[in-house]
Amino acid sequence: MKRIVGIVDYGVGNLYSVAQALEHAGAGVRLVSTAEELRRADLLLLPGVGSFEAGMRELRERGLVVPIVEYVHRGKPFLGICLGMQLLFEVSEEFGEHAGLGLIPGRVTAIPPFGHDQRSHKIPHIGWNGLTLPSGRENWQGTILQGLSPGVSAYFVHSYTALPSNPNHRLADCDYDGCCISAAVQADNVYGCQFHPEKSGDSGLRILKNFVSLN
């Protein structure tokens, strides 16, 4: 029997490509927009594009913040993608300070506008970039990046980056012109990918397959 991944449908972003990629990874997929639908999912995925403030506003107005936090506290696998990863954190500095879900300690800040040579570079950070092991992490064994090798590329589109308070929550980084970007994070059963696995070819599909396999 296929495991059911609930994709949180809160009016932020196109869900079709994520759903299609999850189905290709062997999951059953349901769009969930109520607390009861959310609770019935085996795993939960929070996608999203756009601003942090708008994303949190939609979650609050739809009554999904408390059910998401309760879901995570039950120990069930949870994955945030792009804006969905940023919403996992305590606060964002995008257009003022805005409280997030608070599932991972830390804050979301703007990508520095200057690179290693102090010259301005393009914001947002768009395109393929290699994933690296953060300082102190030896491998990705037992995580959603299991089976991938450092240097494998993923597809990014973002202007803000998460800064976990605990460096042990950094699962993967990438270098954008000398700026260290949190590419993926993990705190217990909570995962986040700043990049788009559904747009990252075979490597992204491997990540989604690993997520679907989590207990």
198 assigned to active site = yes
User: Rg for the chain (alpha carbons), in Å?
Assistant: 16
pLDDT band at 77 (very low <50, low <70, confident <90, very high): very high
Is residue 101 within 8 Å of 109, Cβ to Cβ? no
Question: In the chain, helix, strand, coil percent, each to 5?
Answer: 25, 35, 40
Phi, psi of 13 (to 5 degrees): 105, 160
Name the CATH superfamily for 4-212.
Class I glutamine amidotransferase (GATase) domain (3.40.50.880)
pLDDT for residue 13: 77
Please report which helix (H) or strand (E) contains residue 154, including its range. strand 153-158
Is residue 120 helix, strand or coil? strand
Q: Please measure the distance between the N-terminal and C-terminal CA atoms of the chain and give it in whole angstroms.
A: 14
Backbone dihedral angles phi then psi of residue 49, each to the nearest 5 degrees: -135, 160
Q: Which residue type is seen at 3?
A: R
Active site residue 70: no
Residue located via tokens 């990438």:
174
Q: Which of 125, 158, 169, 196 does the annotation list as catalytic? A: 196
Give pLDDT tens digits for 131-174: 999 999 999 999 999 999 999 999 999 999 999 999 999 999 99
Q: Which residues contact 2 (CB under 8 A, 6 or more apart)?
A: 26, 27, 28
CB distance 197 to 81 below 8 Å: yes
* pLDDT digits 0-9 by tens, 18-63: 999 999 999 999 999 999 999 999 999 999 989 999 999 999 999 9
Q: Annotated catalytic, 196?
A: yes
Structure tokens at 43: 């795993």
List the domain boundaries for the chain.
4-212
Amino acid (1-letter code) at residue 165: S
Task: Say which of 82, 125, 158, 174 is annotated catalytic.
Answer: 82
Catalytic residue among 94, 98, 169, 198: 198
pTM value > 0.85: yes
